[in-house]
Amino acid sequence: MPGEDGVVSNEPKRRVSIITEPISEARVGHDNFGFEPNKRKISQHSHHSEEGPVRRKSNLHNANADSSNNKSLDQRNGEVRSKKPSFSDAFAKINQEYENAQQNAHLEQSWIYALCMRCREEYTTPSWEPPGWQRICPYPLCPPYRQIARIISIILIGVLLWITAYVIIGDSAAPGGQLFQLVVLTVAANFGGFLISLTTLPRLIGMLLVGLLFQNVGWVNLDGEFTKVTAELRKIALTIILTRAGLEMDPHAFKKVYITILKLGLIPWIVEFGLIGVLTHFFLELPWLWSLLLGSIIAAVSPAVVVPCLFRLRTKGYGVAKGIPTLIIAVAGIDDAASVAVFGIMTSIMFTAKGLAFQIAQAPVCIFGGLGFGVFWGALCKYIPEREDAYVVPIRTLMLFGGGLLAVFGSEKIHFEGAGPLAVVFAAFTASYFWCGDGWELEDNPVSTAFEIFWMIFEPILFGITGASIKIRELDPHIVSIGIGCIYTCIIIRIIVTAGIAFGDQLNVKEKIFVAVSWMSKATVQAALGPVALKTVTTQHRPHEEHHFAELVKNFCILSIILSAPLGALLISVTGTKLLKKTKPITEPPEGWRRSHRPSLHDISIIDEDEEREDIEGIADEDTAANTLSNAQTSSVFAVTK
């Protein structure tokens, strides 16, 4: 290209900039490295001249030319230019990224992550820390200050309440008293649940085992007059369980697939209910009424075990395309409602000294009376309080909770025990339906949050005292072996029946098997209702033979929890990835699942689902991540070499 002196240059032609204004005759030579007129504007930030065209920097230029880290700069024809990165620099950078990814993947599988890092994942904002906190509790070996402060505050509140109870009640709240033992059992059960949750099993298993240990070691004694207190606590826990089940049912999803929900919820329940009744009648020699009473309890499915396991699968995309999580949640709610209602009708018939007409009226009065009161109370919660009230959330929570307690305790008082639990479920379901119509979201219902807090308090109480009611030395090995056989036989037959009747529901064979397996776990209803018959027999001073039957019912229920809950949770986690179809993450969750960061009400019994997140940007496992990074490393090396 001819220069200013007319000599032709042998240098290669290069385009080093993009001119933002039209080329004019006066601008000849602006792209020549050797041509530098006085009025040329060197860069957009230059103040040499306000005249002449404005040039943008070449794409080959480094925007941060002033920095000198890992770069060598030279001056060439008045232009600052950075060197191309060397082969060793690129190779070192790729290796560093690969080592960091491997280290992160290894950390998430280590015991440090399992015991320490999980405590930090539930927080979306950093925790404030007092000065010097990191020297006392370094990261990541200790939980954040927020977590420890929460634990300390709970302990202080508990101590204050205990001191107040001791001043009011006296010796029962003192060390050695039964109330004090109950408090210690509750705290220990909560800790035992946390330890079990580290194995990904439900927390309630640890709570049950702690109660069993305390009873058989002799650290707790809740017999005698204190059984009245534990019986009332069970009723309160049952009210919370049923209210949460009603609030979790999606009215719109129920309307769309109500035939499937009723079919899968009632037919397998009826089959298991009848099987338990027949097997226990002939093998355990229980009278028909007692065997059917036991069948009504055992046939219930435990959402506290099923739903959290499904939630972890759902976060990875398993089963969401066909709405399998919604189906299982709804069926579990219907299943529990049926168990509690039939149990109430059976106890009313068995333990009420009324005439034949009264006993015949039990079923229709309990069903229609419970439904009527539930719908009425749920509709009342729509209008009272007014929806724009500043205190609408706490008032609605107390209204729903108070109505549930009235239904449970009131129905027992008038000897129609089956109506109360049914009323609780439908009151919560009706109230949730109206609240969603007013603008609340089912997945982020603040009343559900309040009942989750109630459950955090009553869950260790319920399972702790349930485990403490078992005395191993009094168990008959022959009865235990028969009970194990009956439980597993009924579970297998229920799985076969459920998979067989799931025709016409747009589920393939694998999905039918998974749905059937997911309903094998027993826990919450069995823990709440198992000891009720024994308490009733004791308070009414029934014959000694009925005490034996009631003991069998209680032990059978607890045995079903121990045998089915851990196995059910394990099978759901293992078979879910094999039997369900995985889809890509979607922006809008399927119906029936929460969209907010608030944990699902069933998730209180298990560890946070975030622990199952993908290792590296959606890559399923560590081996795939290593292969992907290795391929990227090879490609980058070839690119640098070229």
Count how many Cα atoms sit within 13 Å of the Cα of residue 462 in the half-sphere of its side chain.
Answer: 28
Segment 611-629 mean pLDDT: 44
Residues 6 or more apart from 259 whose CB is under 8 A from it? none
Q: Give the H/E segment covering residue 82.
A: strand 79-82
Segment 587-610 mean pLDDT: 39
> Would you call 170 helix, strand, or coil by DSSP?
coil
User: Residue 82: is its pLDDT beyond 60?
Assistant: no
User: Residue 173: is its pLDDT beyond 90?
Assistant: no
Q: What is the largest CA-CA distance in the chain?
A: 125
User: Residue 244: is its pLDDT beyond 70?
Assistant: yes
The DSSP secondary-structure symbol of 117 reads I
d(CA 513, CA 583): 19
Is residue 231 within 8 A of residue 532, CB to CB? The reply is: yes
Amino acid at 527: A
- Read off the pLDDT band of 113 (50, 70, 90): low
> Would you call 521 helix, strand, or coil by DSSP?
coil
Q: Give the H/E segment covering residue 76.
A: strand 73-76
What's the helix, strand, coil split of the chain in %, to 5? 65, 5, 30
For the residues of 400-436, what is the DSSP string, one character each? HHHHHHHHHHHHHHTT-TTHHHHHHHHHHHHHHHHHH
User: Residue 195: is its pLDDT beyond 80?
Assistant: yes
| Angstrom distances, CA of residue 101 to CA of 91, 109, 117, 343, 637 | 16, 13, 17, 55, 18
Segment 316-332 mean pLDDT: 75
Amino acid at 447: V
Is residue 553 within 8 A of residue 333, CB to CB? The reply is: no
**Measured at the alpha carbon of residue 482, what is the angle toward residues 478 and 486, in degrees to the nearest 5?**
170
At residue 40, the pLDDT reads 44
Segment 567-585 mean pLDDT: 82
pLDDT per residue over 466-479, tens digit each? 888 888 888 888 88
Segment 510-516 mean pLDDT: 87
Q: Which residue has the tokens 């309903």?
A: 519
At residue 332, the pLDDT reads 78
Segment 328-335 mean pLDDT: 76
User: Residue 622: is its pLDDT beyond 80?
Assistant: no
Segment 333-348 mean pLDDT: 83
Residues 6 or more apart from 630 whose CB is under 8 A from it? 98
Beta bridge partners of 619: 616
User: Residue 589: is its pLDDT beyond 60?
Assistant: no
> Would you call 364 helix, strand, or coil by DSSP?
helix
At residue 312, the pLDDT reads 73
Average model confidence (pLDDT) for the chain? Answer: 75
Task: Pick the more confident residue, 81 or 183.
Answer: 183
Segment 240-267 mean pLDDT: 79
> Would you call 138 helix, strand, or coil by DSSP?
coil
d(CA 346, CA 340): 10
User: Residue 319: is its pLDDT beyond 90?
Assistant: no
- Read off the pLDDT band of 117 (50, 70, 90): low
Amino acid at 252: H
pLDDT per residue over 370-426, tens digit each? 889 999 999 999 998 888 888 999 999 999 999 999 999 998 888 888 788 889 988
The torsion angles phi and psi of 284, rounded to 5 degrees, stand at -100, -5
d(CA 59, CA 43): 13
